[in-house]
A and B are shown apart, each in its own frame.
Chain A
Amino acid sequence: MDSALIPKGVRRCSIGQFALFVGVVGVVLLWGVFAMLLCWIKGLNQTNMNDYYGFALWIWADLAVIALGGGAFFTGFLRYIIGKDELKNIINYAVLIGFICYSSALLILAIDIGQPLRGWFIFWHANVHSMLTEVAFCLSCYFGVLTIEYLPLILENRQLDKVPFFHNLSHNLHEVMAVFAATGAFLSFFHQGSLGGVAGVLFGRPFAYREGIFIWPWTFFLFTWSAAACGPCFTIMITRLTEKITRKTLVKQNVVELLAKISGWMLLTYTIAKIIDTWYWAAVSAPAGGFWLMDFYSNNPLYGPWILITEVLICGALPACILITKSGRKNPFTLMIAAVLAVIGVSLNRWVMVLQVMAVPVMSFDKWVMYSPSWQEVATTILPVAYGVILIAISHRYLPIFPQERELNPIEN
């Protein structure tokens, strides 16, 4: 029925199977939309946020998807600026994943601000002393860049490409893509960093506060570094997952291995920097604020030393060691394990830097305050996942996302 829209020389499932898959995921999407409407119509009383937790599940989800979407800017940087030509075979998918992550982040923010009709205030009446203003600027601009990077893929659809103007526009966008990629890398460096900077400048919260250079605390650089390291791991993970679901090899092993190797070295250097930062904070910064390390990891039901060990060693050092070794990258199982651990690690880091910061008592009369999200918060956080799955399914079906697909999966006549 829709065969005229499917790229030439590739095999896709029947329209019935496809509709069933999209329909099932669509039910989850509708559940999220219902919760989103509740938040917009009834207000933020639908959440479990309170005076302790002004930042909660949504901000964690925001920071996590922005870090995971970092695969787009870093792969683009490697492909167009550094000149790693092999990555042209995975850059489309990295851009699509980045587009989904950033549009999801903006959607979550639109729910989180409670008054989406006043969302434009952050631009019009900008507080130029706020790192979050910089985040809003860079996030919006970079989403524009990702849209521009995704646009030629849409225009390469078999039917759209027949329109001469669209064909020429797609061709021209490809020609100047390096300019957009460089702009994207510039914007990403600052907004990824500023998200870390938001926590690092909280001098009233010794758990988060860090020293730094000029106006930037060390967390600024650690956030950018970790996004560049773990974003490509997320791209690899989703690529392998897509291959499992479609039962096809979509990207050649050497391309994945190259990205995994670069990601591994980035992750290793990041983990070393993170360990040094943690040691200095535990030995110097926190004691200067009147706290000992174990004050942050005891007398509460959730946050123990396990979270630090899991984040830095199990989900940092371990995947880094797997990815920098040739045998680790070549084995599909260990490669997947490393990618999943890196994704969990960066998500855990964002959780700690948002939620644990809020939970730790600051004043002598304070106590640990725990938080569990309402179902509306959970549903609206799952909403972007369902949206992402549907957009990937539609894009994979109708757009030439994987340039090597035809070669790797020849159709026998």
Chain B
Amino acid sequence: MFPFIFEWMWDMSHVVFMGGLWYALTIIGLGMTYCILKAAVDTAQGKGSHHHE
């Protein structure tokens, strides 16, 4: 999974497999981070406070 694990090899299989995994995890992680940070900023600016009955 990581280059520091003993069975890691710098070959095409590891780069493609792990590259795909980290690519997907990065998109998911960045997407969630953006949403959470933006929600925190929006809340600090008072958005979404008065939308209810």
Contact, CB under 8 Å: A162 / B28: no
Contact, CB under 8 Å: B52 / A176: no
Q: Which stretch of A29-37, A83-91, A101-109, A163-171 is in the interface? A: A163-171
Once bound together, how far apart are the Cα atoms of A173 and B38, in whole Å?
10
Inter-chain contacts of B32 with A (CB < 8 A):
148
Inter-chain contacts of A165 with B (CB < 8 A):
39-40, 43, 48
Interface residues of B in 1-36 (CB under 8 A from A): 1, 5, 7, 13-14, 16-18, 20-21, 24-25, 27-28, 31-32, 34-36
Inter-chain contacts of A169 with B (CB < 8 A):
35-36, 39
Contact, CB under 8 Å: B13 / A164: no
Contact, CB under 8 Å: B31 / A164: no
Contact, CB under 8 Å: B48 / A141: no
A344 on the interface (CB 8 Å rule)?
Answer: no
A172 on the interface (CB 8 Å rule)?
Answer: yes
Once bound together, how far apart are the Cα atoms of A169 and B34, in whole Å?
10
Inter-chain contacts of B47 with A (CB < 8 A):
164, 168
Residue of A129, A148, A161, A179 touching B13 (CB-CB under 8 A): A129
Q: From known contacts A169-B36, A173-B35, A183-B24, infer whether A124 and B48 are also in contact, taking CB-CB under 8 Å.
A: no
A125 on the interface (CB 8 Å rule)?
Answer: yes
Contact, CB under 8 Å: A128 / B14: yes
Contact, CB under 8 Å: B42 / A141: no
Contact, CB under 8 Å: A179 / B52: no
| 27 interchain pairs, CB-CB under 8 A | A123-B1, A124-B5, A126-B1, A128-B16, A133-B17, A137-B20, A137-B21, A141-B21, A141-B24, A141-B25, A144-B28, A161-B52, A162-B52, A164-B47, A164-B49, A165-B39, A165-B48, A168-B43, A168-B47, A171-B39, A172-B34, A172-B35, A172-B38, A172-B42, A173-B35, A179-B27, A180-B28
Interface size bucket, B side? 20 to 34
Once bound together, how far apart are the Cα atoms of A64 and B3, in whole Å?
35
Contact, CB under 8 Å: B31 / A180: yes
Once bound together, how far apart are the Cα atoms of A125 and B21, in whole Å?
14
Inter-chain contacts of B31 with A (CB < 8 A):
148, 176, 179-180, 183
Contact, CB under 8 Å: A168 / B18: no
Once bound together, how far apart are the Cα atoms of A187 and B1, in whole Å?
18
Interface string of A106-147 (1 = CB under 8 A from B): 000000000000000001111011000110011001001100
Nearest residue (CB) in B for A174 is B35
Interface residues of A in 311-333 (CB under 8 A from B): none
Nearest residue (CB) in B for A134 is B17
Once bound together, how far apart are the Cα atoms of A148 and B40, in whole Å?
17
Nearest residue (CB) in A for B25 is A141
Contact, CB under 8 Å: B39 / A172: yes
| B19 CB to nearest chain A CB (Å) | 11
Inter-chain contacts of A126 with B (CB < 8 A):
1, 17-18
Once bound together, how far apart are the Cα atoms of A173 and B35, in whole Å?
6
Once bound together, how far apart are the Cα atoms of A176 and B31, in whole Å?
7
A186 on the interface (CB 8 Å rule)?
Answer: yes
Inter-chain contacts of A171 with B (CB < 8 A):
39, 42, 48
Contact, CB under 8 Å: A148 / B48: no
Inter-chain contacts of A141 with B (CB < 8 A):
21, 24-25, 28
Nearest residue (CB) in A for B32 is A148
Contact, CB under 8 Å: B24 / A187: yes
The 6 A-B pairs of least Cβ separation, nearest first, read: A169-B39, A167-B48, A168-B39, A128-B13, A168-B42, A172-B35
Contact, CB under 8 Å: B24 / A168: no
Inter-chain contacts of B21 with A (CB < 8 A):
137, 141
Q: From known contacts A169-B39, A179-B31, A180-B31, infer whether A125 and B5 are also in contact, taking CB-CB under 8 Å.
A: yes
Q: Which of B14, B20, B24 has the most CB of A within 10 A?
A: B24
Once bound together, how far apart are the Cα atoms of A167 and B32, in whole Å?
15
Contact, CB under 8 Å: A186 / B28: no
Question: Other CB < 8 Å A-B pairs besides A164-B48, A172-B42, A186-B24, 18 of them?
Answer: A124-B5, A125-B1, A126-B1, A128-B17, A128-B18, A134-B17, A141-B21, A148-B31, A148-B32, A164-B42, A165-B40, A167-B51, A168-B42, A171-B39, A172-B34, A172-B38, A183-B27, A183-B28
